[in-house]
């Protein structure tokens, strides 16, 4: 269970963060949220699908790491095997929060999960300088959190645009591995390419101006990485 605390240079002066990746640090995730601003980087290594939450009935773009819960095929003995690590993984044990004191405007703050397996007092990246200032690592994590926070609005604008034009369709993948075992991936959606091709000029111009069209093409390009996932799974047989 998470144990969040506001990050500060008094209580957390001696904390460090292990930046290596592996199952022992909780990185065995099947998928995670993808932010539209990182689609160009993501599509070089991963498939991007959409998942509809039953709680919110909203679609979310997800970057896929495996075919089943607890499987991350991008983890190896050397760490994370890809040219780019998604923002939601980069953030490690940090979260962005908000704080408001009486008579002041609400301000953003960094929180840290003290029970996260990346937390250490003996190894990893220091959070604070000897005299209390942030280290370059902490400043970089603040930038990552800021990008994620700003990306939430972009996620909503992107998925709302897709839904408005009925551009999402259910996606089912059935795979037979080299040893004859069968895998299935369902519960996700992808871009409906036929409807995309039928969009009228005004919608396409609007999508282009808002960056929606480029994001769509990045998602479509990412589908070629399904083959990479299958190859990674076969290599582990």
pLDDT in tens, 97-106: 777 677 667 6
Tokens of 188: 């996700």
How far is residue 167's CA from residue 204's CA, in Å, rounded to a whole number? 13
Q: How far is CA 103 from CA 96, 108, 110, 133, 137, in A?
A: 22, 16, 21, 27, 32
What are the backbone angles phi and psi of residue 125, rounded to the nearest 5°?
-80, 130
Residue that the structure tokens 């065995």 belong to: 28
Rounded Cα distance, 49 and 190, in Å: 5
Burial grade of 110 (CB within 10 A; 0-12, 13-18, 19 or more): middle
In this predicted model, what pLDDT tens digit does every residue of 54-96 receive, in sequence order?
666 799 999 999 999 999 999 998 899 999 999 999 999 999 8
Question: What is the model's pLDDT at position 57?
Answer: 77
Domain boundaries, the chain: 4-235
Residues 182 and 176: their CA atoms lie apart, in Å, by 4
pLDDT of residue 1: 66
In DSSP terms, 63 is beta-bridged to: 32, 48
d(CA 17, CA 32): 21
C-alpha 89: how far from chain center: 6
- Confidence tier at 231 by pLDDT (50, 70, 90): very high
pLDDT at 39: 98
Per-residue confidence (pLDDT) for residue 220, from 0 to 100: 98
Query: What pLDDT does 97 receive?
Result: 79
Q: pLDDT tens-digit profile of 111-163?
A: 999 999 999 999 999 999 998 899 999 999 999 999 999 999 999 999 999 99
**Mean per-residue pLDDT of the chain:** 93
Q: What is the pLDDT of residues 164-216, one digit of tens each?
A: 999 999 999 999 999 999 998 889 999 999 999 999 999 999 999 999 999 99
Give the Cα separation of 99 and 93 in Å (integer).
19
What is the reported pLDDT for 100?
Answer: 66
């Amino acid at each position: 269970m998470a144990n969040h605390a506001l990050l500060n240079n008094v209580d957390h002066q001696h904390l460090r963060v292990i930046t290596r990746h592996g199952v022992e640090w909780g990185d065995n995730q099947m998928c995670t949220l993808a932010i539209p601003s990182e689609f160009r980087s993501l599509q070089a290594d991963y498939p991007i699908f959409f998942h509809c939450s039953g709680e919110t009935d909203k679609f979310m773009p997800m970057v896929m790491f495996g075919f089943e819960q607890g499987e991350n095929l991008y983890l190896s003995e050397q760490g994370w095997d890809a040219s780019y690590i998604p923002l939601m993984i980069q953030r490690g044990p940090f979260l962005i929060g908000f704080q408001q004191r009486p008579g002041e405007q609400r301000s953003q703050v960094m929180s840290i999960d003290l029970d996260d397996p990346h937390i250490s007092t003996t190894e990893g990246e220091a959070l604070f300088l000897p005299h209390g200032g942030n280290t370059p690592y902490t400043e970089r994590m603040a930038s990552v959190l800021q990008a994620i926070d700003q990306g939430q609005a972009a996620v909503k604008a992107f998925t709302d645009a897709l839904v408005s034009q009925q551009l999402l369709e259910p996606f089912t993948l059935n795979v037979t591995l080299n040893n004859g075992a069968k895998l299935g991936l369902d519960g996700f959606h992808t871009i409906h390419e036929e409807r995309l091709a039928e969009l009228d000029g005004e919608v396409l111009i609007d999508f282009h101006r808002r960056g929606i069209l480029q994001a769509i093409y990045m998602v479509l390009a990412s589908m070629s990485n399904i083959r990479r996932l299958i190859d990674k799974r076969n290599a582990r047989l």
